[in-house]
Amino acid sequence: MAKKSHEHHDRPHRHHYDAEMLSVEEARERILSYFEVLPVESTDLVDSLGQVLAEDMVASFDIPPLANSAMDGYAVLASDTRGASTDAPVELVVTGVVAAGQLPDHPLEPGTAIRIMTGAPVPENADAVVPFEDTDELERRASGGSSEAIAIHLHAEPHGNVRGAGEDIESGETVLESGQILRAGEIGVIASLGHSTAKVIRRPVVAIVSTGDELLQPGDEPEPGKIFNSNAFSIAAMVKRYGGVPKILGIAKDTIESLTAALEEALDADLVVTSAGVSKGDYDVVKDVLSSKGEIALWSVRMRPAKPLAFGVLDRKDGTKVPHLGLPGNPVSAMVAFEQFGRSAIRLMMGKPEVEKPSVEAIMDDPIRNHDGRRVYARVQVYKDESGAYRAKSTGNQSSGVLSSMSLANGLAICPDHIGMIDAGEIAKVEMLDWPDDIF
Ligand code: AMP
Ligand code: MG
């Protein structure tokens, strides 16, 4: 690698930085062409939330394993309750009780009932369960009456309140298929099959390197002229949210040594994200170091914020390559660019289909202006008005350095590339950053 980096330095013509203008979609397509689905691993079930299942799940037994009661009540022979009502109850002898987790210790005899709890196996010969509510259970208990008999107040239907064996899942059935995204329901199903782990596509590790002499790490003492490194944290949070494993590598100074050292540590990740130092006017160290470690292309993406974007690959010592996404330094630009490109890359590596972020059509309370033919992503708060229609209100200063207006936003309202303005009262598509009930 050292040799290679040296070579690159001697051949500056290889540093081709010609900024190309790309649409968001073109930039995304190019970026995604560098990624592959990651290998399969076995993961603790709870940790597999949001991962893609990498095997078919076939049941090797019935669920439930035995016919069992859907209610707390009395297991009976339905025919023994013929004609029963509150006015004309049928009295049955109680011969025992079966709780959930127990097996009945005797079959049901005609003319008798067995007390049974929800989930408990139904005794042999019983074909219905009469819930406590349809017996004199409560009165009997309140009056301290004998528990050796019970009065049934209803004519039970055969199979009433009995859950059949295999009613949920039958032995041999393919319950989940490879490729499914694991949500709470799927995770529950896997647990019900008796597994504590799942075979899933591995989560990508995303190394995050912040560059800039002006940066301090949160937790450090404030210093005049310096700002705290917020990008690493907002990016790490998005990595986590989209299913990746963030690895914050701290701050690289604008020197060859510092950045080289930071990148060394980043190389074993599945994606390296840097922030800042790649826009046109920037001090060349970042670009030089990055190109000496692999390849880098600087693009102009037709979007606002986040026009400058770098993308390339870094060479690992073993000859393999790791994709590198170079986000702009401005905090909102970094976030908006990661939403558009980082999110898709993580989804691809996790084996998930590329899907647009969820969006709504909202009536704008404020205009969105587009000065220069770039797609504008305006920070807005989406809400429902009295008529139930979605409306979107600007969250304030839209400068790419104003992170507070990002924190107030639940969506990014879009003014398309070719439209000069969406006026107040007009409808815009809003890509939702989150939904009101999706706070986690
Ligand atoms: P640059 O891309 O280096 O020109 O940076 C653009 C702006 O983003 C400057 O105001 C930087 O101070 C700011 N910036 C760069 N990196 C970070 C970071 N990690 N956290 C917060 N702000 C940053
Ligand atoms: Mg800088």
Domain architecture of the chain: domains with CATH: 34-38+203-349 (3.40.980.10), 41-62+169-201 (3.90.105.10), 68-163 (2.170.190.11), 357-439 (2.40.340.10)
Decide if pLDDT at 13 tops 50. Answer: no
Starting from the CA of residue 251, give the closest ligand.
Answer: 1
Could you tell me the distance, in angstroms and rounded to a whole number, from the CA of residue 254 to the centre of ligand 1?
12
Quick one: average pLDDT of 214-234?
97
H-type helices in 134-277, by residue range?
137-142, 184-192, 231-241, 256-266
Could you tell me the distance, in angstroms and rounded to a whole number, from the CA of residue 298 to the centre of ligand 2?
15
pLDDT of residue 307: 93
- Which atom of ligand 1 sits closest to the CA of residue 282? 4
Helix (H) or strand (E) holding 272: strand 271-275
- Which atom of ligand 1 sits closest to the CA of residue 279? 2
Interval 237-256: pLDDT, tens:
999 999 999 999 989 998 88
Predicted confidence band at 319 (pLDDT cuts at 50, 70, 90)? very high
Q: Which residue has the higher pLDDT, 16 or 136?
A: 136
Decide if pLDDT at 314 tops 60. Answer: yes
Q: What are phi and psi of 406, to 5 degrees?
A: -75, -40
Residues with C-beta less than 6 Å from any ligand 1 atom: 210, 212, 214-215, 227, 229-232, 275-277, 279, 282, 328-331, 401
How far apart (Å, rounded) are the C-alpha atoms in residues 24 and 330? 18
Q: What is the residue-averaged pLDDT of the chain?
A: 93
Pocket test for ligand 1, best of 215, 251, 332 (most atoms within 8 A of CB): 215
Interval 97-154: pLDDT, tens:
999 999 999 999 999 999 999 999 999 999 999 999 999 999 998 998 888 999 999 9
Could you tell me the distance, in angstroms and rounded to a whole number, from the CA of residue 341 to the centre of ligand 2?
21
pLDDT of residue 7: 38
414 - beta bridge partners? 377, 429
pLDDT of residue 422: 98
- CB neighbour burial string for 379-403, b if at least 16 within 10 angstroms, e if fewer: bbbbeeeeeeebbbbbbeebebebb
Starting from the CA of residue 333, give the closest ligand.
Answer: 1
Provide the percentage of residues in the chain whose pLDDT is more than 70. Answer: 93
Please give the structure tokens belonging to residue 203. 């989560």
How many residues are present in the chain? 440
Q: What angle do CA 92, 94, 98 make, to 5 degrees?
A: 135
Please give the structure tokens belonging to residue 46. 């709870």
Least confident of 4-8, 33-37, 132-136: 4-8
User: By three-state DSSP, how is residue 205 classified?
Assistant: strand
Decide if pLDDT at 428 tops 70. Answer: yes
Q: Classify strands 321-327 and 308-315 as parallel, antiparallel or unpaired.
A: antiparallel
Q: Are 296 and 287 in contact (CB under 8 A)?
A: yes
Contacts of 292 (CB under 8 A, 6+ apart): 4, 5, 6, 8, 9
Predicted confidence band at 285 (pLDDT cuts at 50, 70, 90)? confident
Q: What angle do CA 361, 364, 365 make, to 5 degrees?
A: 145
Q: Report CA dihedral (369, 375, 376, 382) to the nearest 10 degrees.
A: 110
Least confident of 111-120, 188-197, 283-292, 323-332: 283-292
Could you tell me the distance, in angstroms and rounded to a whole number, from the CA of residue 355 to the centre of ligand 1?
30
pLDDT of residue 9: 39
Quick one: average pLDDT of 150-175?
98
Could you tell me the distance, in angstroms and rounded to a whole number, from the CA of residue 224 to the centre of ligand 1?
16
Q: What angle do CA 94, 97, 99 make, to 5 degrees?
A: 155
Predicted confidence band at 45 (pLDDT cuts at 50, 70, 90)? very high
Predicted confidence band at 438 (pLDDT cuts at 50, 70, 90)? low
- Which atom of ligand 1 sits closest to the CA of residue 232? 19
How far apart (Å, rounded) are the C-alpha atoms in residues 256 and 266? 15
pLDDT of residue 51: 97
pLDDT of residue 439: 42
DSSP state of 341: I
Q: Which residue has the tokens 């709870």?
A: 46
Could you tell me the distance, in angstroms and rounded to a whole number, from the CA of residue 58 to the centre of ligand 1?
51
In 1-65, at which residue ranges do the beta strands (DSSP E only) sit? Answer: 20-22, 40-44, 57-58
pLDDT of residue 437: 57
Predicted confidence band at 15 (pLDDT cuts at 50, 70, 90)? very low
Q: Are 128 and 159 in contact (CB under 8 A)?
A: yes
Contacts of 215 (CB under 8 A, 6+ apart): 226, 227, 228, 229, 251
- How many CB atoms sit inside 10 A of residue 435's CB? 12
Residue 331, Cβ density class (10 Å: 0-12 exposed, 13-18 middle, ≥19 buried): buried
pLDDT of residue 260: 92
Nearest CA to ligand 1 atom 12: 214
How far apart (Å, rounded) are the C-alpha atoms in residues 264 and 407? 33
Pocket test for ligand 1, best of 275, 290, 325 (most atoms within 8 A of CB): 275
Could you tell me the distance, in angstroms and rounded to a whole number, from the CA of residue 373 to the centre of ligand 1?
24
Predicted confidence band at 170 (pLDDT cuts at 50, 70, 90)? very high
Decide if pLDDT at 165 tops 70. Answer: yes
DSSP state of 123: P
